[in-house]
Structure 1
Amino acid sequence: MVSYVYILRDMKHPRFKIGKANNILARARSFRRETIDFQESLGLRLVSEADAYVLEKILHRTFRLAGVDPLEVVASGGSSDGASEWFSTSCWARLVRYLKDNQDLYPHETISGKELAALLKEQLVPSQAVLSREQIRKEKEARRNERELEAIEYRRTQLECLRASLNTVQPIIAQELDRLRLNGNIAGIYETSMGACLLIADRVPLPSGALLWGLKPHSTNYEYPGGFGSIMGGFNQVTSLSGTVSKVGLPSAYKRTGSFSEEDEIICDVFREEFEWLRQLQQIPDAWVSVIFPIGGFFPHYQIAPNWRMRWKK
């Protein structure tokens, strides 16, 4: 197997490296080939790896007195890899003459610095396969960037449509809250770990089928690309001889707890005045609501909250 002895000159320092390699350029990469002056270097092609090892050792021994201290090599920016194989250029001329005079003892083919530099230049030019891979990589990156931009644009459209839909619902809810407030039907807010509800009441029992909360469920619905919801959720109503009480579910954004999404931020922004007003209402104790809305139906003896009942005014 053909092998090589390389004699590579340092680009900045008066020294050269003698070593053995099956691929000179690949070996030079391990100690930063950008520091090598290939134009002024040499390569020796031998018929076998064994012959290359022999010639390398002979050159090391022959010019050992011109060797450069490995510590000096590393201190001046050289690689520690093969740091003991550097020699002063003061013996360069004798080395070249030695190789020429002993060509018959160590048969080899000399590769000039010009040839090495040309090989390096050729190697640095990307192959068609490399160019193809790079083109594929760029196309993939371009598609990924395009998808990211499309996702950003879609998200922007989503949020714009959400705000527009909410702006349509907001006057409807504001009008209904104003009506209940003027009629004295607002009792307060009931909050649990599951969410918050608006409690409204009237001391006059409503007839069958009549609702204290005047909006149909779909009246507060909103839609946008990829999503939908309702500002005022489901509601319950109970009626007895003493009056009517309703609780209407408020959106999760009202409490501003847990994970707060961009959608919640927009809901809070559009309904800022309504939410601020609702937060100022009195808090209704859980015990009262449990009596008014017991599991299984309406419990008539909710007189345990007389002060609260007095707030239900027409």
Structure 2
Amino acid sequence: MAKRILITGAAGFLGSHLCDRFIKEGFEVIGMDNLITGDLRNIEHLMKNKNFEFHHHDITKFVHVAGDLDYILHFASPASPIDYLKIPIQTLKVGSVGTMHCLGLAKEKNARILIASTSEVYGDPLVHPQNEEYYGNVNAIGPRGVYDEAKRFQESITMAYHRFHGLETRIARIFNTYGPRMRLNDGRVIPAFIGQALRGEDLTVFGDGSQTRSFCYVDDQVEGIYRLLLSDYSEPVNIGNPNEISILDFADEIIKLTGTDQRIVYKELPQDDPLQRKPDITRAREILGWEPKVSRAEGMKITYDYFKSLSQEELQKREHKDFSEHIRR
């Protein structure tokens, strides 16, 4: 009998790829999303699949799934600076109330749950590269605090359920991930640069461009999450690509990839923007036997070709998200 898995945030970039992977592995997948930042086009190819069902639902209200449930992947959350600065209350609620509802469901169903944490729990790190033992350097009351602290609380309550209730829990600390189905211009580096390149605009670099990031292709990220869910390890695990690059060097790579002649323009660095971001993946290598396989050159070509293949109308739809109906919630 097929295993059943609930994936929250199923219509999002990473959630939709996880739906694909678990369908491929023979699971019955229940996707759930309130579509604040998710997009049904990401999962429309699954709608007629007999092993997939979708629930348009806000998990901060309650979470219910009829029947048995073996696994839960909790990936519901705004995940970009533009999103969580425009909808800060919803960001905090899905990381706290939404997580509590998912953990409660996992306890009720005796299901194993994996929660999507983030490298942002490390804040602007004073340790480099970042390993799972590092507690972080986070400004709780800064503009990014709504996301950072939501994720830190998420980890804390997950471990409380693990220790107090004996719940089977997994925590993935996800570093910058990219690939097809991202939303352009959502405030993250890669979609911002690709969107500007496709429009023939100059590339915007914040600060002097010396800050670093480490980019993981989505297929590698999904493989790491899959292995972590099926592992016996309950402590947080970094899932990311340790191949670090400065934002300025990455902007040059984008210009070469797109074959355009854009200039690089500079703007002031946002408050609390991390100056360094590189995962120590020793734990993932040792426990999961996992490390990324797709090079940045290969992954970026696939990603750029994907967006280049979309019509102008589709590109515009993937750039804009209307939060107006959610602002007062």
Asked if these proteins are the same fold (TM beyond 0.5), I'd say: no
**Higher helix proportion:** 1
Instruction: Flag the structure with larger Rg.
Output: 1
Structure with the larger strand share? 1
Structure of greater relative contact order (alpha carbons < 8 Å, 6+ residues apart): 2
